[in-house]
Each structure stands twice: as C-alpha cells, then as structure tokens.
A and B are shown apart, each in its own frame.
Chain A
C-alpha cells in the first residue's frame, strides 16, 4: 500500500475508533499533533490508538516511551506502521 493511501486509511480508522463524529479525514493534517492543542486527544485515546495499532496492523507497543514517540502525529504513526506491521 502506498504511504499516502495508508495515511488516509489510518485517519479513517482513528475517526472510527475514537468516535470523532464531527471530524473528516481531510480535517486531520499529517503533521498535526494528535494530543493537546492539535486533534485534542487525551490519555484514554492513547490506549485506544495502541489497541488500533494492535488490531489493525499487528503492532504491539509495550514501552510507554516508545508510544510517546509513535503517537505524535499521522506521519510518525504511518512511519512506524510501515516498519513494524505484521499484517
């Protein structure tokens, strides 16, 4: 899958998993921070994102420090998925 396609797919999955009913994929910029002032996600959402990576891409993030580096924005997530996906 092309990287751009993967980004679009990931955005749709984030909207679905986090029930972001008022957000469209095009509203999420690739370099927009997911947490804090960006998309406004919080700590419970971070667990939902880790579950998303596990279910959809077979990626298990065990180390919280690693999670902080991965769950920064769409770009960092997609890069990590490309390197570590098992499905």
Chain B
C-alpha cells in the first residue's frame, strides 16, 4: 500500500459503505474516488481572459510569444507595502482569494493547490546565492518563493490561524486540494473552507518545459490551437478560488465525485472514465457536458479522444485551454467555468450535444499525459450549454 492509498484508507469508512474507495487495476493504475458531496458557493478567477470582477469570455485575449499571460486586476484589497513584495503567483493567489475570504470570514481553513508556487522569485533567490557568492541575501524573494507563501499570506492578512495547507502534486495539485477539502468536510460537517489553485508562467519553468517539447515551437494563435497538428501547447497561468461547505442552500454547484489516476495508457483512461460515470450517474442518465483539457498537443489528443468516445451524441464536449493556456492547475479554471457555465462562449464548444440543459458536468484533464483527473460537478441552476 503506498502513501496515496494509505491516505485514502485513513479517511475512508469501511469499503462496504461504498462512500469512498481506492481501486488498483494493474501496475500503472491507481485512483481515488470520493463521492462525498461538497457545495461550491462563492467563486472567483484571475485568468488570461476577462474573468475577474466582470466576466467576458466572448473576446478572446491572444497569446504573446505563445504565452497566455494573466490579466491582473489592481489588487485594491492588498496593502501597497505588501503588494510590492509579492511575486506574480502570490499576487494572483492572494488577490483572487481575498474577496472570497471576505465573503467567508469565518473560514475553517485555507487549502491551496499549486504545482510551483512563486517559481520566479525562487529562481531569483537562487541566482542571488550564486551572484553574491553565498554572501548577504535579501529576504523578500526567499519569503515569497515557497509554494506555501500564498496560503501563509492569506492566513496572515485575514488573521486566519486555522487549517492552512498547500498541495504541490504537480498536475494534480488542485485535485488533491479538492480531495483534502472533501475529507475535511467529512470530518467537520459544519466547516467552511477556502479552496484555491494558482500557478504562474516563470521564465525558468517555461524554458525547461519548452526545451522538453511541452510548448509549441511555431507561433500559434489561441483560436488556432486545436487545429495545429504539432506537438506542444500554449503556456498559461491563473488562479481560481472557491468557498466550499456542506450546505446546499444558495450553492452554485456541487462536487459529487473526483477521481485521479496516474497512467500513460489511453485505454486505462477510457476505462477509468467509464467506471467513473457508471459509479456516479444513475442508469440511463448521461452527462450533459464534458469539459476537457484538450491542449493542442498532437501527442496528447489520444487521451481526450479516448474520453470523448465514452460519451454519445447527447453530451456536449467543450474545451478551455485556448483561453487559459496549459499549466499544472488548469483544471481549477475548468471548475470555475463549470460554476459559471452561463459565461461559456461558443468558441469553447467542440461538439454540441442534444441535451437541453447543462446540469451534470464532467471535467477531464490531464497533465503531461500521466496525471489524469475526472471531476463530476452538478450545477444547481439548469442552463443551456453553448447557446448564449
């Protein structure tokens, strides 16, 4: 039993209750399934599109040098003395979460998912060590460079001394944060948590991933991302924040299930998708919309095609990476989109389904072809997908 399984077992009731289980099928297939219902209330997003304060996704903000950079607000809630020390990831994370914490000032914890945190500041600090021959170093970059600086800053600024944790599981950092929130809400049913995800484009990460073939070599516009037949994607960044609890009243959406798995085999992904659907949907029920993380990388299309093949003509297929770019916690943007489906523009729709409303939403995303996740979101307001 590995650590992942141990954690799930620790927080799981006995198997025969069917409320939580861990499955292992083959050497490369490990998954977590939790169907504790968690309700999303306030949600917020700083992304590469106009999503903060006033949402307008019809106008597509274009790439610059194959990078989709976040549209940052003026961060009026952050004191200038603190703001000037913040790196971009910390700025986006804190700036996105502060309004949410104002809505839920009695939050019982802050749960953040970030693969890299403030990598730009981290590299600046490490370069200082070399440049100044391990001499006197400035503390600012160091303080801001650790991934948990975002949750820590939020705790300090809002004087929230409760549960404060940062999950850094690369492409599943947000999913693990989400799973943590669900487990915490099972332990403390009356609690309320801030759940967030953030990642930035840093020169260091971009250059390494570019050389490793994860970003496109040729200039590609956002709107042409899916028609490009080359490898690599567009770099992206962003932050999304959710206030979650167990109370259905006034909630915008409900997380009904999440499953993560590590595999490079598309057939395993397809099988996991089928099992996920059969576990969560009633017989005869079909997902209304599937939001996939298709990212324009020709090598990665097989996973998305495998998942899409599970759905029939009823289900609408939507994509979002042409808006957000690719980054490890991009699935948080998809969850924000699911919560704000009324804003979903036509350019997100890959295949229009026959269903008349969008209630059951499946989010499928993977990172670098090995870390996969399915999230089942149920909207608590019925709307028509892609017809706005």
**Partner-B contacts on A (CB < 8 A):** 17-22, 40, 42, 44, 47-48, 50-51, 54-55
Contact = CB atoms under 8 A, between A and B. Distances in A.
B84 A51 contact: no
Contacts, number: 27
B27 interface: no
B87 to A, nearest CB: 10
Contact of A44 (B80, B136, B139): B139
B140 A42 contact: no
Contacts of B137: 51
B135 interface: yes
Contacts of A20: 84
Contacts of B138: 17, 47-48, 51
A48 B81 CA distance: 14
B85 A44 contact: yes
A44 B142 CA distance: 12
Nearest to A40: B81
Contacts of B140: 19, 44, 48
A55 B81 contact: no
Interface residues of B, number: 12
Contacts of A55: 132, 136
Contacts of A19: 84-85, 140
B80 A22 contact: yes
Contacts of A54: 135-136
Interface in B129-152: 132, 135-140, 143
A13 to B, nearest CB: 12
Contacts of B139: 44, 47-48
Q: A-B pairs with the 3 shortest C-beta distances? A: A19-B84, A51-B138, A54-B136
5 contacts: A19-B85, A44-B85, A44-B140, A54-B135, A54-B136
Contacts of B132: 55
Nearest to A49: B138
B385 to A, nearest CB: 42
B89 to A, nearest CB: 16
Given A18-B84, A19-B85, A44-B85, 20 more contacts: A17-B138, A19-B84, A20-B84, A21-B84, A40-B81, A42-B81, A44-B139, A44-B140, A47-B139, A48-B138, A48-B139, A48-B140, A50-B136, A51-B136, A51-B137, A51-B138, A54-B135, A54-B136, A55-B132, A55-B136
Nearest to A48: B138
Nearest to A44: B139
Q: Which of B135, B138, B139, B140: most chain A CB closer than 10 A?
A: B138
Contacts of B136: 50-51, 54-55
Contacts of B84: 18-21
A20 B83 CA distance: 10
A55 B137 CA distance: 10
B126 to A, nearest CB: 16
Nearest to A21: B84
Nearest to A60: B136
Nearest to A52: B138
Interface in B347-369: none
A55 B132 CA distance: 8
A51 B137 CA distance: 7
A55 B133 CA distance: 11
A22 B135 CA distance: 30
Contacts of A40: 81
Contacts of B81: 40, 42
B113 to A, nearest CB: 27
A47 B132 CA distance: 16
A4 to B, nearest CB: 27
A36 to B, nearest CB: 12
A28 to B, nearest CB: 15
Contacts of B85: 19, 44
Contacts of B80: 22
Contacts of A50: 136
A21 B80 CA distance: 10
Interface in B55-83: 80-81
Nearest to B80: A22
A8 to B, nearest CB: 21
A47 B85 CA distance: 13
